Amino acid sequence: MAKYKGTIGILTGGGDVPGLNPAIRAVTIRALGEGYRVVGLRRGWAGIVDMVPDENADNGINFQMLTEDDVNRTVRTGGTFLHSSRTRPSHLPHQAVPSHLKDRYKDDINDVTPSVLENLEYLGVDYLIPIGGDDTLSYAYTLHTEGVKVVAIPKTMDNDVPGTDYCIGFGTCVTRTIEMANALRSTAGSHERILVIEVFGRYAGFTALLPTMAGAADRCVIPESEFDIENLTELLVEDRLKNPSRYSVVLVSEGAKMSGDVVFESEGTDQYGHRKLGGIGDQVAARIAELSPRFNNGSAVNVTSQSLGYMVRSGVPDSLDSVAPMAFGNLALDLVLQGDTGRLVGVRNGVYDSVPLDVVHGPHKVVDVEKYYNTERLRPSYETFGGNPLFMS
């Protein structure tokens, strides 16, 4: 029987992004080379919640032992081959409690952490490496306080996890946003339109700010600063008139707020209490169309709206989301080998580093409006770049 130094568990939680499979591969290849075995926990926290700790049970959808062949086949693909979910074991609705645990957890909302700990022990997990955003990592911190040896890797397109300059998925999101905004210019120019493009960004506006810096749009509105729709309309009409092709473009973060309005969101929430956002782009476009005659000599401007949505999180990772996850995975294994757990790997001040995991309970990382955003002109501030961080975070 093969002998191992220990077992490392790895999972991906929350929304999928390009770069997750390269991170899983990096952890697995390095861990196997160091003499560990690696178990992939499937479907985020759901796999370890639904698992039946019995060798005769069929747990194929809950976990799998990982090999080099498994991870080498997936490294160039998007998403996560381990699958994902937004399950929150500390706040699990009764209808989500697996059947074999319903007699044990009978409340409307249940904390099934005792069962999670039992299942991790059953699998023999010595170290746990969760990859996710602040929701996934907040529960990872809970397990850390319960004695689980956790080393976490940050992932989110919004790039808003505190404690790191960069999160897996952000680079591809910015790359795709620029590519798609530029592609949409052809139809905007052909019909002399104002083009409203809705992008991800619940709390932080980095995914609208950076593409606008790169010239993908004339203006952007972000969650960190309420905007006046009349001011935005006037600016976009002005941009359109100055453009020889007679069109203009604005990027709208899904969490952006018009002055006096509420965030455009659905009624339902996930297990982390988040309402589903989306639709503000259509709302903004309708208001711009309504107001445009006021700033265009009485003539209405044709306005169109497009949500990029899941297109920016689908498909293969760009170069940054191929390289950074590799580094993050190796950073995580460095910490495992040093016995230094309760940490979050990442990038700080332009270099790879790690910080205590409790940073995930701090405030979201957001755009520094005073430094990087002109609230009157509704565009990035270009006053100075010397000494500024690469991702304005």
The residues that are catalytic are 158
Q: What is the C-alpha separation between 323 and 7, in angstroms, rounded?
A: 25
Minimal CA–CA distance to 251: which of 376, 118, 367, 380? Answer: 380
- Angle separating helix axes 170-190 and 206-213, nearest 10 degrees: 60
Q: What is the C-alpha separation between 368 and 222, in angstroms, rounded?
A: 11
Q: What is the C-alpha separation between 365 and 384, in angstroms, rounded?
A: 21
Beta-bridge partners for 249: 195
Query: Cα-flanking dihedrals φ and ψ of residue 352, to 5°?
Result: -70, 140
- Spatial contact of 248 and 239, defined as CB atoms under 8 Å apart: yes
Q: Is 189 exposed, middle or buried (0-12, 13-18, 19+ CB in 10 A)?
A: middle
* CA-based torsion, 359, 334, 73, 75: positive or negative: positive
Q: How many Cβ atoms from other residues are within 10 Å of residue 182's Cβ?
A: 15
